Amino acid sequence: MEILGIDVGGSGIKGAPVNVETGELTAERYRVATPKPSKPEQIAEAVKELVEYFDWKGAVGCGFTTVIHHGKSAARGNIHKSWKGVQVDELFSERTGLPFTVINDADAAGLAEMTFGAGRGKMGLVIMVTIGTGLGTGVFFNGQLIPNFELGRIYYRDGQLIEFFASDAARQKEELSYKTWGKRFDKFLKHVVRIFSPDLFIIGGGASKKFDKFKDQITIDVPILIAEKQNDAGIVGAAVAAQRMTT
């Protein structure tokens, strides 16, 4: 069974058909730049472009870069403020004529890892952390998704969100070494451990590929695995979410 997976991010929108039995892409990914400004009409048109590129006729799963509650955008995330309150699944369905399942993008990445990647078969409380523009998190208990845990939005100090302090974007902006930045990321992990006592972390996103450069700065006593699906995780997880909604 194939389902089209789409990953809507702050800088790019990418998609591909996914074999939801194996977690493999069945065609090369197609990507378009996220429109500026990233308002609902412009994003919907970009999503339609992806659907038309693959000449897709079936169900579509979509990971979206904000809190999604029953298909509705509950916050603005890393895109335009006009998204708050938009019923995203209905908007995309109306624009394309296809059934859409929409979930948070970090939740989608986590679903991919828990179904086909590093988290497969892992029980207990598992937290997937995607290190990128922010710190996206997907939380699972005994393999079941607990949606919309925005742990990167924890306040750190002086009203600053911790993702602005410990994300990969912060590392790049401040030109930090991986060693210096790794200490910041460790502070984030320690906050999460103090609050949730997880059994396992799965680390994804671009910085996870450089784990050897900062792993010595990590002091938590919780196992860490590196994500396996990497850049395809959001696409694969979105397709998995759509499969679960249609079966």
| 13-70 confidence digits (pLDDT tens) | 999 999 999 999 999 999 999 999 999 999 999 999 999 999 999 999 999 988 999 9
2 neighbors 20 (Cβ within 8 angstroms) = yes
Q: Please, which residues have CB within 8 angstroms of residue 125's CB and are 6 or more apart in sequence? A: 139, 140, 141, 196, 197, 198, 199, 200
The encoded tokens of residue 192 equal 């999460």
Placement of tokens 């700065």 in the chain: 217
What is the pLDDT at residue 103? 97
From edge to edge, which strands make up the β-sheet containing 135-141? 144-146, 135-141, 125-131, 200-204, 224-226
CB-count burial class (<10 Å; 0-12, 13-18, 19+) for 71? buried
Q: Select 122-227's CATH number: 3.90.1150.110, 3.30.70.1170, 3.90.180.10, 3.30.420.40.
A: 3.30.420.40
Percent above pLDDT 70 for the chain: 99
What is the pLDDT at residue 2? 97
3-class state of residue 244 by DSSP:
helix
What is the pLDDT at residue 206? 84
Q: Select 2-108+231-246's CATH number: 3.40.50.2000, 3.30.420.40, 1.20.120.1200, 3.90.1150.10.
A: 3.30.420.40
Predicted confidence band of residue 247 (pLDDT cuts 50, 70, 90): low
What is the pLDDT at residue 246? 76
Q: How far apart are CA 141 and CA 130, in angstroms?
A: 18
45 neighbors 96 (Cβ within 8 angstroms) = no
Torsion angle of the four alpha carbons 137, 51, 59, 114, in this order, in degrees rounded to the nearest 10:
-30
